[in-house]
Amino acid sequence: MLKQPFFRLNQDPDALSGFSRTVAEIEWLLLVLMLFYLVVGHINEDFKIFLLGGLCAFAGFIMLFHYLFSFFAKGKVWKMALETWVMILLITWFVWHTGRQDSPLLNLYFLPIITSALVLGRLTTLLEVLLIGACYVYLDSSAVPVNELLSLRQGSVLLAWLFPMLLVGYVTTMLSSDIFDAFSHIKTTAQTDELTSLYNRRGFMELLAKQFQQARRGGYIFSVIMGDCDNLKIINDKYGHEAGNLLLQSIAQNFRYCLRGSDFAARYGGDEFIVLLPNTTLETTELVAKRIKETLAANSFNYNGNLISSTISIGIASYPQHGETAELLLRYADEAMYANKRKSKNQVTA
């Protein structure tokens, strides 16, 4: 069964890169607010150098994770999760030295909550709220006897303080979920062929580009199958475009039947289809192409009492044997396909 295009915002590289930049800006904002308080706040002079050193270390952390090394600079969910935890610990450390529960910077905890709610989801956000609650209790641990920390009164104070954060986190995750769903729908629509529900050319080319990156980095092989329907024009002329559309849908369904879940099929344009087969040798690709050709020829559908069937001419190419760029690989498969059509049609050519 061929998987359908589906996207999640927190799995999309472009979206993750955008969120990563937003996290960096939030971290710089947090740093600036703390530095500003060092200048204007009432802090013991003996602690200022100590706090400034900690903020310099945090600035180094931001530089490391966003600018210095490409491994860290790329947007990753785990990296952004780690950054929010570090933000919570930094705020707790700074608040401890600037008044504890009476610190005017206590509301800075909202920054990591909002960040987590936008990117990491409800569960992680809830865990971070619980961590912040533990930090809040810790900030007051020296002023409240141990036997009163878990009392009903202290619990009520803690819940009253945490409730706004829970509310902000919940509302932000709801809005984030709506954004995720809208983005998924828009991107799926943009990369899916409306008639066949396969990938369209644009979506396929993005997949192919990623496949090339993975293949070059890991030394993998992969293959492509390019196929052209042999009788779409005849069907359109004889029975009308509705029958032609049903024929294209029948071909798409045949791909779903013949391919693995890890393969990707697309309507490349008109009556041309293309398939990407990761980690597949040329020999295996030939077997898959023959199965596609044979099952398509053996099936038909009824249109107004007329049985309609089709054949397909196929060209195949394998990386890196037939091309080390997308342009060369597709050109080879395309030329093989059209050489097949010119000769006898309904054949597989490599």
Q: Under CATH, to which class is 201-349 assigned? A: alpha beta
Residue percentage of the chain with pLDDT more than 90? 32
* pLDDT confidence tier of residue 349, bands split at 50, 70 and 90: low
Domain coordinates of the chain in residue numbers?
A: 9-189, 201-349
pLDDT tops 60 at residue 335: yes
Average pLDDT, the chain: 83
- Cα(318)–Cα(279) distance, rounded to whole angstroms? 10
Tell me: the pLDDT tens digits for 206-217?
899 989 988 888
CA gap 316, 331 in Å, rounded: 10
What's the whole-number mean pLDDT along residues 290-316?
Answer: 89
The Cα–Cα gap between 187 and 191 comes to 6
Instruction: Count CA atoms closer than 13 A to 261's CA, side-chain side.
Output: 0
Average pLDDT over residues 230-241: 90
Check whether 323 has a pLDDT greater than 90.
no
User: What pLDDT is attached to residue 2?
Assistant: 40
pLDDT of amino acid 151: 58
76 phi-psi bin (left φ>0, alpha ψ -120 to 50, beta other): beta
Q: For 128-168, how does the pLDDT look when each residue is reduced to its tens digit (9 = 90+)? A: 998 998 888 888 765 545 455 555 666 677 788 888 888 98
Task: Identify whether the C-beta of residue 283 lies closer than 8 Å to the C-beta of residue 233.
Answer: no
Distance CA 225, CA 93 (A): 59
- Spatial distance between the Cα atoms of 316 and 299, rounded to a whole number of angstroms: 23
Determine the average pLDDT of the residues in 72-85. Answer: 78
Entry pTM: 0.61
C-alpha 167/C-alpha 220 separation (Å) is 48
pLDDT exceeds 60 at position 73: no
